[in-house]
Chain A
Amino acid sequence: RKEVEQDPGPFNVPEGATVAFNCTYSNSASQSFFWYRQDCRKEPKLLMSVYSSGNEDGRFTAQLNRASQYISLLIRDSKLSDSATYLCRTDSWGKFQFGAGTQVVVTP
């Protein structure tokens, strides 16, 4: 079993709609959590960190559920430019684990 798992998608989302997806992790010692955005096999770029209390950055909201060991990302008012693959990353004492990514396709 992979340490970090994501639904590969694709999630097809009409422009303006809301989409949410999760990332589950198996290592209960994971301390830090992040969401990255990756376009067309380019390098991943940090989208946001995920804090215990949940956090928001514009149209993006990240949540952490330690009890069930998953993090989530919600995108509101989806834009065409949000089409990308979203990777999650966990950090356990300096050991980074990435998920395989969730593809989001925003359609006009």
Chain B
Amino acid sequence: NAGVTQTPKFQVLKTGQSMTLQCAQDMNHEYMSWYRQDPGMGLRLIHYSVGAGITDQGEVPNGYNVSRSTTEDFPLRLLSAAPSQTSVYFCASRDFATNEKLFFGSGTQLSVL
């Protein structure tokens, strides 16, 4: 049981480049989300999805796009990377029936130069 798989683990981009962070879960969770973590700021919600075909904005959505074409996958796209997007990104999922536990991916450390 792989849980939440997040790739890549590390990425360096130049300003203006685009990329997609991949997130997949094999637990049939309805809810998936993306967070970024910056020093002193805690985990901040970027986008989330409560099921295939449904996405919504979190606290800090600007500069990011998401889609949810399947239950399993929830990619995060940076269309034109900016240095302010240098951060550690975590994907997380949960089962609505067992509301408490968030399952996190292992994180992506992104640097934008």
Contact = CB atoms under 8 A, between A and B. Distances in A.
B43 A32 contact: no
A46 interface: yes
A46 B42 contact: no
B34 to A, nearest CB: 12
Interface in B1-49: 35, 37, 40-45
Interface of B: 35, 37, 40-45, 88, 90, 99-102, 104-107, 109
Contacts, number: 41
Contact-residue bracket for chain A: 20 to 34
Interface in A8-26: 8
A2 B99 CA distance: 24
A43 B101 contact: no
Interface string A82-97: 0000010101000010
A45 B42 contact: no
Contact of B109 (A41, A49, A87, A91): A41
23 contacts: A2-B42, A4-B42, A8-B40, A32-B99, A32-B100, A34-B100, A41-B37, A43-B90, A43-B107, A44-B43, A44-B102, A44-B104, A45-B104, A46-B101, A46-B102, A49-B100, A87-B42, A89-B102, A91-B99, A96-B45, A99-B42, A100-B42, A101-B42
Of the listed residues A4, A41, A43, the one surrounded by the most CB atoms of chain B closer than 10 A to its CB is: A43
A41 B88 contact: yes
Contacts of A32: 99-100
